[in-house]
Amino acid sequence: MLTGSVHECHSRHHVTATDQSAYVSSAVAATTGIGSTSCPWQVRAAEGQRINLTLLAFVDAPTPDSQKSCYDVAVIRDGSGRRGVTACSGQPRQQVILVSDTSTVELEFVATNMASDHVVARPALAAQFILHYQCKQH
């Protein structure tokens, strides 16, 4: 699990990850701010490589009498594109969420709850999220 450097965060406003494969956690973002909106992870692969991102979501499964819980997990920036990542109870725990278009991706955990007529919001601490990235030749 990568933890990053608060010093790098303060000087660059992001933390760089250059390992070929690693895990980053919403718990680290919540406790240190590293990987959060104010100090996102910048994952850098070698030129010509792409980054595969897999979400591991530890969300309570709904019971027959309960409603689904959903969470805004992260925001991913790949090149000029930006997309949100959402996880809901009842979905597979492990999901491939991105194969990047570029060799650099920025990740920020947002860990907020979504609420609607069909979704019950729960405290953000009720779920934990891990993103696994792996750099591969394109």
List the CATH number of the domain containing 35: 2.60.120.290
**Mean confidence (pLDDT) of the chain:** 85
Which domain range does residue 28 map to?
6-137
Q: Residue range 3-30: average pLDDT?
A: 90
Residue 102 lies in a domain: yes
Whether residue 53 contacts residue 41, with contact meaning beta carbons closer than 8 Å, is answered with no
Written as one string, the DSSP assignment of 11-43 is HHSSEEE--SEEEEEHHHHHHH-TTBTTB-EEE
Average pLDDT of the residues in 74-99? 91
Read off the pLDDT band of 111 (50, 70, 90): low
Instruction: Tell me, yes or no, whether 1 lies in a domain.
Output: no
**Residue 17 bridge partners (DSSP):** 43
How much is the pLDDT for 131?
A: 94
Torsion from C-alpha of 11, 7, 130, 123, nearest 10 degrees: -90
Instruction: Please identify which residue in the block is written with the tokens 């850098």.
Output: 44
99 pLDDT band, cuts 50/70/90, is very high
pTM, 2 dp = 0.83
| Domain-embedded: residue 117 | yes
Whether 58 maps to a domain, the answer reads yes
Q: What is the pLDDT of residue 117?
A: 43
